[in-house]
């Protein structure tokens, strides 16, 4: 059973649909016991960092996420779900993130000819043998929607990066924790393969 954490932060159904297309048993839930007993857990999300952290704290899901990651359950953060795993974001000064991983969430710098938010397809540079990217070709394209990006503190946890006005850490992996800034569920066959790699861990 794969639990998708439901904390009212959008984009959950497309993740659920992608997993169902892979033949997985999926539950969309905010229930502590269901999340803690799942074989794998996904934290999706679109929207604002501060609002999302407030919702996680109000529902106690912040502590559930820490418990899940500490006990070694394979865990995948998607888009805002990646950003929330870190300590804080420039989007919401003074708001503490989950702090499970170390790094900064920064605003994508303005550059002539580039639109913010970054919406669309970008190619990935793969590095450090990420398990999510088994069988994925270098420079494969995936779909992004974001105005803020990750600069991870530990270079070795970065498994994919991309360029959009700056160098963006697009995916990380540390022990049982995985995260993607892009949306695998919206990234066609490449994204489905990435999700398949996660469910087959």
* Rounded CA separation 109/34 (Å): 40
From the list 79, 118, 146, 169, the catalytic residue is 79
Helical H segments across the chain, by residue range: 12-21, 32-37, 49-59, 61-70, 80-83, 188-199
**Tokens matching residue 185:** 């569920």
From the list 88, 169, 180, 185, the catalytic residue is 185
DSSP structure class, residue 110? P
183 an active-site residue?
yes
Beta strand pairing call for 141-146 and 103-107: unpaired
From the list 118, 153, 183, 200, the catalytic residue is 183
For residue 179, give the H/E element and its range: strand 177-180
Q: Is 156 helix (H, G, I), strand (E, B) or coil?
A: helix
Cis preceding linkage at 117, omega within 30: yes
185 an active-site residue?
yes
79 an active-site residue?
yes
* Rounded CA separation 198/131 (Å): 8
Q: Return the active site residues.
A: 79, 183, 185
């Amino acid at each position: 059973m794969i639990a998708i954490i439901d904390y009212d932060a959008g984009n959950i159904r497309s993740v659920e649909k992608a997993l169902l297309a892979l033949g997985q048993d999926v539950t969309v839930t905010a229930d502590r016991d269901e999340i803690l007993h799942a074989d794998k857990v996904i934290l999706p999300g679109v929207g604002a960092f501060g609002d999302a952290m407030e919702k996680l704290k109000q529902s106690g899901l912040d502590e559930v996420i820490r418990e899940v990651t500490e006990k070694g359950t394979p865990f995948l953060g998607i888009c805002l779900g990646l950003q929330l795993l870190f300590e804080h974001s420039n989007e919401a000064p003074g708001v503490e993130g989950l702090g499970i991983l170390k790094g900064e969430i920064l605003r994508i710098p303005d550059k002539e000819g580039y639109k913010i938010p970054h919406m669309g397809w970008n190619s990935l540079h793969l590095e450090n043998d990420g398990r999510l990217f088994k069988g994925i070709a270098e420079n494969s394209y995936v779909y992004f929607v974001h105005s803020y990006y990750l600069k991870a503190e530990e270079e070795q946890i970065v498994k994919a990066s991309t360029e959009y006005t700056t160098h963006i850490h697009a995916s990380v992996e540390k022990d049982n924790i995985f995260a993607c800034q892009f949306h695998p569920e919206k990234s066609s066959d490449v994204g489905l393969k990435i999700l398949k790699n996660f469910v087959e861990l």
